[in-house]
Structure 1
Amino acid sequence: MALHEKDMIRENLLDDVYASASLAHSLPKYRIPDTEQDPRHAYSVVHDELMLDGNSRQNLATFCQTWSEPEVHSLMDECMDKNMIDKDEYPQTAEIESRCVHMLAELWNSPEAANTIGCSTTGSSEAAMLAGLAMKWKWRAKRKAEAKSIDKPNMICGPVQICWHKFARYWDIELREIPMERDRLIMSPEEVLKRCDENTIGVVPTLGVTFTCQYEPVKAVADALDKLQADTGLDVPMHVDGASGGFLAPFCSPDLVWDFRIPRVKSINSSGHKFGLSPLGVGWVVWREKEDLPEDLVFHVNYLGGDMIDFALNFSRPGGSIVAQYYNFLRLGKDGYRKIHTACYETAEFLANEIEKLGPFEIIYNGQMDAGIPALCWKLKDQEAEGYTLYDFANALRSRGWQVPAYSMPANRQDLVIQRILVRHGVSRDLAVLLLKDMKRSLDFFEKHPDHASLAAEEASGFMH
């Protein structure tokens, strides 16, 4: 390239981005451009498109973290090139992952926290599937040893998030999901026992049900299974889906017995990027003892430099979220987590009280600390009398940027439509007050426009996890 041509490029670098020749025309959207672009121009194109996304801080549907300290951003940048699966090349990242596993084992009262086994995953869905596979493998080995059929495994759960439906379909397991009935919207010991048989690989209570945010009664279910074993000899293990509650109950409800203090609980999964306060995406699964993870599920890999064990569904993964998790453990300690989550619970209860005062709504769950996660949900007292639906209300709030999902419940309460708010780290009391003002503004609009056409459920803002 001639010297004068290089000078022309230098001059172009000083041009205003939006006055550049390359941005005077639309770039192709579904094929790779033929020529390279100035990095400032390419960045501006992508950046401008992302402006059309919702504001994540106003997304009160998501369980995931939308705010992090500046130090977390720095650590994520520093770890962008670290492939955590390559434990020979990045031994300290592997060591940090191992430390987190043991910290969680201690937090969840493992009888041998120093010697237990677990791993990080891309999220609690992958962690749940690993735990489910371990239960199936253990059940299958036991059945083979007894020379019995292994054709019809089943798993019992309450109203669950879609990951368990995926697990059951992908690994050919009958999912015995306990339906909701009348005012019972979660699992109960009686309903669990109705569904147990010799083909049950495990019972999975959820510590923070997706639909209502309530804790399912882990200890009561375990006690019922203990009695079942005493009466019939049937020994059914448990896995606790602590996707949300696993990072809440230990800090805010330490006397609530749901974890490895219950001998029947063989494994626990949780999301680091939810109430673990780590950025997307990291989850964790920990087994009570090494024997609870069948050796058949563990692979040995040596082509990355050393002999490494691997028992995740994914392989290459970024290490940043794991490192950020460790940072949070060191930075916050148990007191810090307790303070943050307690503030979230208090804001949830504040919102529940204020929303109930608005008049049309009946609170189903109010964010009570020992009963569920920092969240709240409600229904309309009388939809016909109000003349609008919760889908209408959700859509009106969306016009101000708020994502407050309205959705119908699963079987057998599809008739019940509720609305839900998740209070995460970063949802301040001031932000809650702004939301309440917009709620009142939306209700005033409905009152002034009684002929407002109701939106069909499929056209309104739906359920988001």
Structure 2
Amino acid sequence: MPEYACARLASVPNESGPNHSGTASSDHPYADRFPVNRRLPEQGRPRAEVLAELEQIATEEDRAWEGGKVSGTMYCGDHDHYAYLTEAFGRFAHVNALQRDICPSMTRFEGEIIAMTLDLMHGEAVTGTEPGGLVTTGGSGSILHAVLAYREQAYAAGNRSPNLVKPETAHVAFDKACHLLGVELRVVPVDPATTLVTAAAMADAIDEHTIALVGSAGNYPYGTIDPIASLGELALERGIGLHVDGCLGGFVLPFGEELGYDVPEFDFRVPGVTTISADTHKYGYALKGTSVLLFRDQALRAGQYFHQVSWSGGKYMSPSIEGSRSGGLLAATWASMVHLGRDGYRRYAADIFSTAEAMMKVVRAQEDLRIMGSPTFCFSFASDELDIYHVADHMRPKGWRFNGQQYPDAIHMAVTRPQTQPGVVEAFEADLVEAIAYARERSAAGVAAESGAIYGGVPGGLAGLTDDVTDFIEQIMDSMLDAQMSLPPQ
């Protein structure tokens, strides 16, 4: 289920994308064309019939992003690459990564994924300690594991009231991790012009119970890179950790740097950086469900460990939060990395950076719009003259799917490989010019926009909400969850 950011949501239709079912509502997609399974069938259906149904659905849904108009989501967009990964996944899909005695390939795949990611993040710069890592289930998983490691380190030192300090722009997964783990979260505002946090502002939030700082490379809202070098100096000065969230940029920024783009050092070359998260399932072009968390010191990694030696089922030892995992994801991630290599990632990064530059040039040419900060491969744009959400409303029927930002209201575009196709930038320019004219007209008339600031672009029909409406938000999320897991009326 998507994660919903419900701080300030404009009223939007209750749908989660194109309605391929032909019905009036997407709450029960495909119910008019395919059987609805209200109970486990007495007799199973032929494999060919089931696969044909899945192929039809997948083909229709692929059309929503194949034209290159969807922000983020499909980072690769290459069906040949997906077929290759699917074959690699299929050979190990049934394997439980826990069973290393039966399937030693899991040790090879996971070890090499971590080693290759350490190489990308300049693990060779680490001295005095032995770096290590974990493969997790995604960005939120890597962040959760990192916060757990810092908390356990604090507990071992007698700090039972730990706090974590992050810029407001750092991913909300840190908020969730702190909520789950009982860590106080201290949020520091960013400079509204640069969209970056300053080390001085972070320093003001630190006290004797602070366990770590957070910096982003780049952050999700604006794609900008926090001053990691300054934060590293601060972390060293105060004797605390520094987590660099490279979940979004970890597998594209290093290649942008190699190509000569202005990408500051953010990895283990920076003294003070103690952990880094980087999502292989984003610009690493692996299948969804993998990320890598790196540690400057394996001693910090030990905070993940859980053991129970007195259980009747045997001595239980778990090196991370997850238990069973499909070996297929490790195999597919490894296959993606070794197939592409530095040259492949660099070629794709060149296309992505140049496309992002071209799209930002289009935005900057519009007098009513402004780019937030100085971004690289993804960007956000806002307006002081019109309601920017009207722009998203007008472009949505043309196939564009943006992510809404807030404080200030803005539109986010994460450039991925589908946007690098010929003609996409030109379509963006033509549709954006039309949308601005529409937005001027609607804004002048005082008409409210339909779309709004919702993480992941998931609409919810929630208007003007703030954080102080917990009970109401939970009711809304209940209804959304119930709708998305419900069956159509009989």
Structure 2 residue matching 1:55: 3-state secondary structure: helix
Deviates more, 1:178-187 or 1:201-210: 178-187
- Tell me, yes or no, if structure 1 residue 170 matches structure 2 residue 180: yes
TM-aligned CA deviation for residue 108 of structure 1: 1.6
Q: Which of 140, 153, 175 does residue 125 from structure 1 map onto? A: 140
Q: Which residue of 2 aligns with 1:98?
A: 111
Q: Which residue of 2 aligns with 1:9?
A: none
Between the aligned residues of both structures, percent identity stands at 19
Q: Which residue of 2 aligns with 1:439?
A: 432
The residue identity in structure 1 corresponding to 2:249 is G
Distance 1:73 1:33, change over 3 A: closer
- Tell me, yes or no, if structure 1 residue 252 matches structure 2 residue 256: yes
Pairwise CA RMSD:
3.3
The residue identity in structure 2 corresponding to 1:393 is V
Q: Which of 146, 153, 157 does residue 166 from structure 2 map onto? A: 157
Deviates more, 1:330-339 or 1:160-169: 330-339
Q: Which residue of 1 aligns with 2:400?
A: 402
Q: Structure 1-normalised TM-score?
A: 0.79
Q: Which of 414, 424, 427 does residue 419 from structure 2 map onto? A: 427
TM-aligned CA deviation for residue 135 of structure 1: 0.9
TM-aligned CA deviation for residue 327 of structure 1: 2.4
8 Å CA contact retained: 2:372, 2:379: yes
Distance 1:59 1:171, change over 3 A: farther
For the pair shown, the structure with the greater C-alpha radius of gyration is 1
8 Å CA contact retained: 2:220, 2:248: no
The residue identity in structure 2 corresponding to 1:462 is I
Q: Which of 76, 82, 88 does residue 101 from structure 2 map onto? A: 88
- Tell me, yes or no, if structure 1 residue 390 matches structure 2 residue 373: no
Q: Which residue of 2 aligns with 1:313?
A: 321
The residue identity in structure 1 corresponding to 2:187 is E
Matches within 5 A, 1:271-282: 271-282=279-290
8 Å CA contact retained: 1:64, 1:275: no
The residue identity in structure 1 corresponding to 2:139 is S
Distance 1:97 1:45, change over 3 A: same
Give the unaligned 5+ runs of structure 2: 1-30, 458-490
Higher RCO structure (Cα 8 Å, ≥6 apart) = 2
- Tell me, yes or no, if structure 1 residue 292 matches structure 2 residue 300: yes
Distance 1:437 1:73, change over 3 A: farther
Q: Which residue of 2 aligns with 1:463?
A: 455
Q: Which residue of 2 aligns with 1:267?
A: 275
Q: Structure 2-normalised TM-score?
A: 0.75
TM-aligned CA deviation for residue 440 of structure 1: 3.0
8 Å CA contact retained: 1:61, 1:464: no
Deviates more, 1:23-32 or 1:339-348: 23-32
- Tell me, yes or no, if structure 1 residue 109 matches structure 2 residue 118: no
Paired residues, what number? 413
TM-aligned CA deviation for residue 185 of structure 1: 2.4
TM-aligned CA deviation for residue 112 of structure 1: 6.5
Matches within 5 A, 1:320-335: 320-335=328-343
8 Å CA contact retained: 1:366, 1:377: no
Distance 1:54 1:170, change over 3 A: farther
C-alpha deviations, 1:49-68, integer Å up to 9, x for none? 55368723446333552424
Matches within 5 A, 1:12-31: 27-28=35-36, 30-31=38-39
The residue identity in structure 1 corresponding to 2:188 is I
- Tell me, yes or no, if structure 1 residue 343 matches structure 2 residue 336: no
Distance 1:270 1:64, change over 3 A: farther
8 Å CA contact retained: 2:391, 2:438: no
* Structure 2 CA distance for aligned equivalents of residues 295 and 175 of structure 1: 19
TM-aligned CA deviation for residue 403 of structure 1: 0.3
Q: Which residue of 2 aligns with 1:7?
A: none
Distance 1:133 1:356, change over 3 A: same
* Structure 2 CA distance for aligned equivalents of residues 338 and 217 of structure 1: 24
TM-aligned CA deviation for residue 455 of structure 1: 3.5
TM-aligned CA deviation for residue 308 of structure 1: 9.7
Q: Which residue of 2 aligns with 1:56?
A: 65
8 Å CA contact retained: 1:244, 1:274: yes
TM-aligned CA deviation for residue 167 of structure 1: 0.6
The residue identity in structure 2 corresponding to 1:377 is S
TM-aligned CA deviation for residue 44 of structure 1: 5.1
8 Å CA contact retained: 2:277, 2:294: yes
Distance 1:464 1:403, change over 3 A: same
Distance 1:29 1:433, change over 3 A: farther
TM-aligned CA deviation for residue 346 of structure 1: 0.7
Distance 1:307 1:78, change over 3 A: farther
8 Å CA contact retained: 2:290, 2:329: yes
